[in-house]
Structure 1
Amino acid sequence: MERLHSSAPMPAHLRGSIMALGNFDGFHAGHQAVVGRAIERARAEGRPAIIATFDPHPMRLFRPDTPWFRLTTLDQRERLFAHAGADAMLVFDFTRELASLDPPAFVHLLADWGVAGVVTGEDFTFGKDRAGTTETLKQLGATMGLTAQAVAPITGANGEIISSTRIRQALKSGDCATATRLLTRPYTIEGIVQHGDKLGRTIGFPTANIDMGHYLRPAYGIYAVRALLGDGRVLDGAANLGIRPSFDPPKELLEPHFFDFAESLYDQKIEVQLIHYLRPEAKLDGLDALMAAIAADCDNARQILAGTPHLA
């Protein structure tokens, strides 16, 4: 799958596409329905299928002090879009210039790229001050040879609308099960394993330290986790996500300890799935208490992971 940027011309072989248009952070079940409709149309009409997303997220441009909230990185979205069957991912470089386009100018941009049809969610807005709606897109598109279709929200088993906001709420409360159900996969943090202070190694629980980057901060605490290595191997473990209150100075990290694994992972990119929230972070009195707590956490995580199927 190709990765395109809005600053570059549309390649000739991708003109005439059906485009799924949205932010798609998280690429949850609702996003998958929009993308699935676009790909279905593209295949039926013999056209390329493109999934468009925005980077940075519009909120980051207009409210730069907003706490980190991303559910996926661009690299993760690219893999998810490819798995869904798209031919290309188009990254709208979200600048103030793009944000200042009025709805007709934005639709002209799509038409100039040769987009034949656009599929969005019903709540999609676009253009300066978010003045454009799905109905605006349909009306403007009709004058420029571009069709537009909106997909209704997807609801979960209990009738709630599936949204990135609901997933963030679940993660902030430590509800990994709800996040996994709505995402259709575990919430996954990807990062480069860093060199740390190696305190875990001295007490028999070496960890792979990963910076949280621009990801949403889930509830701080101890998690049962599952890691995907670059070579395809899968590792089970327990992780501290937070500021390590038993150590000084505090430092925000995701620190997974992997069971029955002794290889070096330094400088490797790995993905860590949050499977189950075990308990909040706690400041413990001395190394003996810390080691006992970690051992208990590992035992609990092993039991939980033994009964949890692998989800990509």
Structure 2
Amino acid sequence: MEKYSQLVDFSSKHPNIVVALGMFDGLHIGHQEIIRTAVAKAHEINGTALVFSFANHPRSVIAPEGAPRRIGSDAVRARILNHLGADALVEIPFTSDFAETSADDFMQLLQRCFAPKYIVVGENYTFGRGGKGTTALLREKSETYGFQLIVCPSMMRDGAPVSSTRIRALIAQGELVRVREYLGYPFTIIGTVIHGQARGRTLGFPTANIALREDYERLPNGVYAVTVMHQGLLYCGVANIGNNPTFDGCDRRLEVHLFDFSGNLYDSEIMVTFYEKIRDELRFASVDALIAQIAEDKREVERKFEKSFHLQENISMVI
């Protein structure tokens, strides 16, 4: 999949463009249906499926005090789009100048840069300054600009449309089963292993440490059953999100102990996929008590993977 960070004349490079429009934060099951529809239509007309989105959430510019955290990293989004068969991702910065683009100007931009044969959106899609552009306006102007519009209905779960807002709330509550159902894949973090204080190694449970970014959604502090993908190999593991209160705390981070792994992970990129919360983060009265609990956590996770979890279940979306 190709990736572009600025607008050019894509119609001169790609024939018969089908463009999917949206923010696509987290690429949940509703977003996936939009992308699949665009890819299927592109195959049907021997064309190209392009996804047009933004590198930052529009609210980070329009109302920064209320800007939501991102659900998934760019790396996770790229993996899922590639899995879905998108030919290219056009992901530009949303700026204060772009925020002034009217709905009419935005449609002219689409025509100038994409000259799309089809535009595919969700039923709640809006565009242009103040969100004045709607699917009704796209349909009204479709003949003028020479495209056909496909509007995908919302995916429903628990009596309401699946949305990035609902998923953020579920992540904050640690509702991993429902998060997986709404996303269509388990909650996943891709990050680079940093140097920590090597306490895990001295305790007999070496860990890979990943810093947690403030602008991305995070699970509650606690211990989790996870898998870790490293250099094409999949490992079971136990992860802790928190501040290490037994040792008077540190910066909030993700620490992962990989089962049956030996080697150096520093500066490596790993993919951590979360399956179930095992317990809350606790402060222990002694180091020995902490070691005993970590050993029990590891046994508990091993039991769960033996009985309950299927490592490849839905994870193929992000591998």
> What TM-score range do you get, normalising by the shorter chain?
over 0.9
Unaligned runs of 5+ in 1: none
8 Å CA contact 2:11–2:17 kept in 1: the answer is: no
2:142 alignment partner AA: G
Poorly superposed stretches of 4+, deviation over 4 Å: 65-68
* Cα distance in 2, alignment partners of residues 68 and 196 from structure 1: 29
Whether 2:148 is the aligned partner of 1:142: answer no
After superposition, the Cα gap between the structure-2 partners of 1:299 and 1:65, relative to the gap in structure 1 and judged at 3 Å, is farther
* Cα distance in 2, alignment partners of residues 62 and 209 from structure 1: 34
Aligned to 1:116: 117
Equivalences, count: 310
* CA displacement, residues 224-276 of structure 1 (integer Å, 9 cap, x when unaligned): 110111x2100111111122222234211010111121211000001100110
Unaligned runs of 5+ in 2: none
SS at match of 2:247: coil
Aligned to 2:95: 95
Percent identical: 34
* Cα distance in 1, alignment partners of residues 38 and 282 from structure 2: 47
Q: How far 1:45 sits from its partner (Å)?
A: 1.5
Q: How far 1:72 sits from its partner (Å)?
A: 1.6
* CA displacement, residues 148-172 of structure 1 (integer Å, 9 cap, x when unaligned): 221110113x443222222222221
Q: State which drifts further: 300-309 or 119-128.
A: 300-309
Q: How far 1:309 sits from its partner (Å)?
A: 0.8
1:143 alignment partner AA: T
* Cα distance in 2, alignment partners of residues 67 and 222 from structure 1: 28
8 Å CA contact 1:189–1:212 kept in 2: the answer is: no
8 Å CA contact 2:9–2:112 kept in 1: the answer is: no
Q: How far 1:291 sits from its partner (Å)?
A: 1.0
Q: TM-score, normalised by structure 1?
A: 0.94
Aligned to 2:283: 283
Q: TM-score, normalised by structure 2?
A: 0.92
1:49-128 map, 5 Å: 49-66=49-66, 69-113=69-113, 114-128=115-129
1:1-312 map, 5 Å: 1-10=1-10, 12-66=12-66, 69-113=69-113, 114-156=115-157, 158-213=158-213, 214-229=215-230, 231-306=231-306, 307-310=308-311, 311-312=315-316
Q: How far 1:64 sits from its partner (Å)?
A: 3.1
Q: What's the C-alpha RMSD, in Å, of the aligned pairs?
A: 1.6
Q: State which drifts further: 56-65 or 202-211.
A: 56-65
* CA displacement, residues 76-99 of structure 1 (integer Å, 9 cap, x when unaligned): 212211110111111132111211
8 Å CA contact 2:192–2:270 kept in 1: the answer is: yes
